[in-house]
């Protein structure tokens, strides 16, 4: 696949072309690419770069690093991703690294490495969030959340659900890095620590199926379903269960309604490159009069921008449980202040500003 991409890029490229490669799936493209003279080659690595101790077991490590070091410019989301990469290169190759400029001198080449947190298209998110919602999504969610008898009693079961309960949401791809088991344990800790919320708070986890043919992903799904069932059995009340897991993919337009109505959004990955959900939630929720609050893992790349969120260590279920309570009880004015601050930061550092920063940095690196 990488050879085919490299061939196609080579055929389309001319002198002074700008070539931008994205993520680990295409990591070997620079190796196979016959880069035209004076062309600029940059790569953005979207996922966290591991420590050298973890990376060193990879059988293809030399080939991967050689390919990446064929670029003029490399960028990651977070500063510690850059530090991990530079440490890896230092330990695997005989290189000279300028610590002040993050320039790597290797094989008669100079490669610049930098952290550039990726932005989102905040204008598009706001536009989607402001659109009216079709009833099909309400129906799909209502069927998943409300039993048939209650649906018959409710004129609009989706709307009634949000009026009846304080709703906490989580929107994730099924993945072992998303911290879903730790999240459910934190919700259980919250219910045990603050029993006044039993019967009043529900967690709705929308989980997009992903790579379910892979045993590790099958195991994750089995683990979280078992854990959710155990917690629900422990705390169930007449007409109420605390945890609802929905294995379904919804459009961005659909999800925006959840963002706008939820009292709390849990984004608790154990490690993540950026995390789109946290940024989309902020933009969508900031458009309503009484927004929800964001509980965010310190290990999500977006934590570097969303400093007004309730930042937590997802491995610490006690800390997450306290943050859930704090978020639910936060005064409206405080939520408005925090959400406004974060939304403004995302608008300033949007996808277009990020693109411009990357292109400028790559061109400068190639000079």
Lowest-pLDDT range, 199-213, 319-333, 340-354?
199-213
Tens-place pLDDT, residues 268-289 = 999 998 899 999 999 999 999 9
Catalytic sites, residue numbers: 46, 272
> Model's pTM, two decimal places?
0.88
Tens-place pLDDT, residues 257-270 = 889 999 999 999 99
- Comparing CA positions, the residue from 271, 267, 274, 357 lying closest to residue 23 is 274
For residue 229, the tally of other CB atoms under 10 A from its CB is: 13
Task: List domains and CATH numbers for the chain.
Answer: 2-118+352-366 (3.40.50.2000), 122-349 (3.40.50.2000)
Kindly report the three-state secondary structure assignment for every residue of the chain. Answer: CHHHHHHHHHHHCCCCCEEEEECHHHCCHHHHCCCCCCCEEEEEECCCCCCHHHHCCCCCHHHHHHHHCCCCEEEECCHHHHHHHHHHHHHHCCCEEECCCCEEEECCEEEEEEECCCCCCHHHHHHHHHCCCCHHHHHHHHHHHCCHHHHHHCCCHHHHHHHHCEEEEEEEECCHHHCHHHHHHHHHHHHHHCHHHCCCEEEEEEEECCCCCCHHHHHHHHHHHHHHHHHHHHHCECCECCEEEEECCCCHHHHHHHHHHCCEEEECCCCCCCCHHHHHHHHHHCCCCCCCEEEEECCCHHHHCCCCCEEECCCCHHHHHHHHHHHHHCCHHHHHHHHHHHHHHHHHCCHHHHHHHHHHHHHHHHC
Average pLDDT, the chain: 91
Residue 279 to residues 112, 139, 276, 350: CA-CA distances in angstroms?
A: 28, 26, 5, 10
- Assign 212 a pLDDT band (cuts: 50, 70, 90): confident
Query: Can you give the pLDDT at residue 142?
Result: 54
Query: Can you give the pLDDT at residue 254?
Result: 81
């Amino acid at each position: 696949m990488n050879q085919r991409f490299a061939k196609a890029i080579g055929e389309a490229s001319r002198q002074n072309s700008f070539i931008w490669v994205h993520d680990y799936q295409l990591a070997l493209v620079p190796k196979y690419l016959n880069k035209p003279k004076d062309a600029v080659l940059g790569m953005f690595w979207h996922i966290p770069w591991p420590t050298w101790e973890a990376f060193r077991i990879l059988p293809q490590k030399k080939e991967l690093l050689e390919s990446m070091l064929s670029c003029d410019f490399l960028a990651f989301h977070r500063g510690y991703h850059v530090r991990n990469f530079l440490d890896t290169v230092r330990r695997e190759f005989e290189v000279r690294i300028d610590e002040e400029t993050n320039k790597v001198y290797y094989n008669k080449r100079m490669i610049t490495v930098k952290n550039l947190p990726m932005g989102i298209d905040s204008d598009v998110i706001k536009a989607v969030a402001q659109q009216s919602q079709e009833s099909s999504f309400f129906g799909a969610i209502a069927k998943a959340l409300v039993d048939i008898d209650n649906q018959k009693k409710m004129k609009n079961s989706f709307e009634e659900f949000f009026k009846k309960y304080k709703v906490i949401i989580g929107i994730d791809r099924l993945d072992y890095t998303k911290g879903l088991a730790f999240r459910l344990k934190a919700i259980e800790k919250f219910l045990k620590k603050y029993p006044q919320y039993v019967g009043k708070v529900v967690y709705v986890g929308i989980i997009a199926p992903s790579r379910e043919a892979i045993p590790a992903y099958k195991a994750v799904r089995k683990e979280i379903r078992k854990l959710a069932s155990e917690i629900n059995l422990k705390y169930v009340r007449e007409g109420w269960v605390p945890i609802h897991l929905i294995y379904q993919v919804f459009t961005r337009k659909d999800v925006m309604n959840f963002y706008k109505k939820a009292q709390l959004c849990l984004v608790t990955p154990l490690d993540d490159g950026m995390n789109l959900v946290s940024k989309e939630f902020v933009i969508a929720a900031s458009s309503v009069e009484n927004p929800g609050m964001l509980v965010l893992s310190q290990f999500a790349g977006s934590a570097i921008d969303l400093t007004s969120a309730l930042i937590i260590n997802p491995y610490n279920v006690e800390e997450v449980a306290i943050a859930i309570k704090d978020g639910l009880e936060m005064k409206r004015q405080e939520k408005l202040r925090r959400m406004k601050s974060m939304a403004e930061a995302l608008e300033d550092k949007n996808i277009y500003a990020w693109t411009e920063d990357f292109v400028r940095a790559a061109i400068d690196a190639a000079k």
